[in-house]
Amino acid sequence: MLGGLQADEVIELDWGPFASEWHDVSGNQRQRYLGPFVEYIESPEEDTALALRPLFHTWLQKDQDFRRTEIVWPLYVYRIRENSSYWRFLLNFGWNWDVNDSNSRWRLWLLPFYFQGRDVNGENYMALFPLGGSIREFAFWDRIDFALFPLAIRSYKKKMVTNTLLWPIFSKTTGPGSKRMRVFPFYGFTEYENVGRKTFILWPFYTQVNYMIPQSLGKGWILFPLFGHMKLSDQETWWFIPPLFRYSVGEEQNRIYGPWPLFQKESGVVDKFYLFPLYGRKESAGYKQQFFLWPLGHYESAERDTGTRKKFYFFPFVQYYYANPSEWVSPTPDGETTYLKIWPLFSNATKHSGDSHRFAFFDFNPMKGGPIERNYAAFWQVYVYARVDDRVDKEVLWGFYRSAKRGDDYQYRSLFPFFNYKRDRNEDEKHFQLFKGLIGRQRVGEKKRWQFLYLFHFGDKDLAQ
């Protein structure tokens, strides 16, 4: 770190894109060297970030005891919060729930071949895919034991146990209130106590279901790809050339599909109309979703007790996000938030009812924020505007042009290396330089001092630096 910033300073060092030190509009101490390549940030809360782009970025959040380090992202990521750590190198992962406890829960997964760790119950495990072993807490399963995959597999999920031979052909599942058996694709069934039973024969050609749910009793079947019918106490459905054509009538919902997924229409609790992939909308209480030219265009809005949220994107060209949380339900320091990106031209973010604003010209990141923003965005954001209340910063080409404004009391401008100008009404000071000291003039109150040819100074000696 070069030099130290005083609490009342704004611009401490300004050598354009080569070296600069200043306090930004949020009160962060910032230092940047060699354009976007080297940057150091320290917040008023003593959170710090250091970037050696594009090789390295690290961030320390002091009050949360959190550190994140990224090396040539997405190559390597490391995070630690209090005593819990996580790392990823390509498709290799490691977790440790307490780095100070030699008996803590941990994982080492070198996908898709090697798995080792200690689970939440303190049991050690190891697996070498596809030869054999045991994997714990993987995806939806609590435990998977296998030998010569896909020859023999046993999996556990909550209290359900599934034994599989020659996956996916033979399998049997047992557990409280349920059982399942499969000889795929010849025959199989799934049965849940007080819910019903689903059966297939020569899947997908024949399937049937029998529901025992009190509010929805009945049965149904599908003979693929010809016809299907289901009759329940609260609804009835017909399929023609399933799944292309479907007609359902019910107490809460009616559906017409034909042909699916190109045309879908529903009415009732959920109002839905799809003309896929050109246009679609889906509405329910307090929620609305639309798409057009799927998957490019998407819009959704939600009105909840927790507040309002709206989102729109036409990937990758337009992204819009708006949130206004209800303060009495879900208070947030950001308050009302608006974000707009027109890719690749600019991004614009406003927080807390417009009191905080950031605009960046040229933003090639197709996503909102994230690791691309931290590690790479500084290279292409050639103009950045930031405002918090009456504090404003502007910057072009990493400091080739810079301006800072703090209300009506402080103003700074520079165009490196041609001129820099500072006015501070609190100190009754004005200062300007041409070519970083070829010619300069400083005035504080009634005192004045001139600079000429870098080495020669004339005027009040009290202003000598």
- Write out the chain's pLDDT in tens, 465 residues: 233 333 457 888 999 999 999 999 989 999 999 999 999 999 999 899 999 999 999 999 988 889 999 999 999 999 999 899 999 999 999 999 999 898 999 999 999 999 999 999 999 999 999 999 999 999 889 999 999 999 999 999 999 999 999 999 999 999 998 999 999 999 999 999 989 999 999 999 999 999 998 888 999 999 999 999 999 999 999 999 999 999 999 989 999 999 999 999 999 999 999 999 999 999 998 899 999 999 999 999 998 877 889 999 999 999 999 988 765 444 455 577 899 999 999 999 998 766 888 999 999 988 888 999 999 999 999 999 999 988 999 999 999 999 999 988 899 999 999 999 999 888 888 889 999 888 888 888 878 888 888 788 887 766 665
Beta strand segments in 90-234, E: 92-96, 106-110, 114-118, 124-128, 132-138, 141-147, 152-157, 160-165, 170-175, 178-183, 187-192, 196-201, 206-213, 216-223, 227-232
Give the pLDDT confidence score for residue 4 in this predicted structure.
34
- How far apart (Å, rounded) are the C-alpha atoms in residues 9 and 424? 10
Neighbours of 150 (CB within 10 A): 13
- Please state, in angstroms and rounded to a whole number, the distance separating the CA atoms of residues 57 and 13: 23
Q: What whole-number distance in Å separates Cα of residue 369 and Cα of residue 350?
A: 14
Q: Do 72 and 65 contact (CB within 8 A), yes or no?
A: no
What are the beta bridge partners of residue 160? 157
Tell me how far apart the alpha carbons of residues 304 and 223 are, in angstroms, rounded to a whole number: 42
How far, in Å, CA of 276 to CA of 135, rounded? 41
Query: What's residue 7's pLDDT?
Result: 40
Nearest to 380 by CA among 403, 347, 357: 347
- State how far the Cα of 244 lies from the Cα of 115, in Å rounded to an integer: 42
Only one residue has tokens 């057009």, namely 292
In the prediction, which pLDDT does 62 show?
Answer: 86
Q: Which two tokens stand for residue 157?
A: 């999920």
pLDDT at 463: 66
- pLDDT at site 5: 35
> Is the entire prediction scored with pTM above 0.85?
no
Please list, in sequence order, all residues whose beta carbon lies within 8 angstroms of the beta carbon of residue 8, skipping any fewer than 6 positions away: none
What's the pLDDT at 464? 60
CB burial string 388-427: b at 16+ within 10 A, e below = beebbbbbbebbbbbbbbbeeebbbbbebbebbebbbeee
Residues forming beta bridges with residue 210, ordered by sequence position: 197, 219
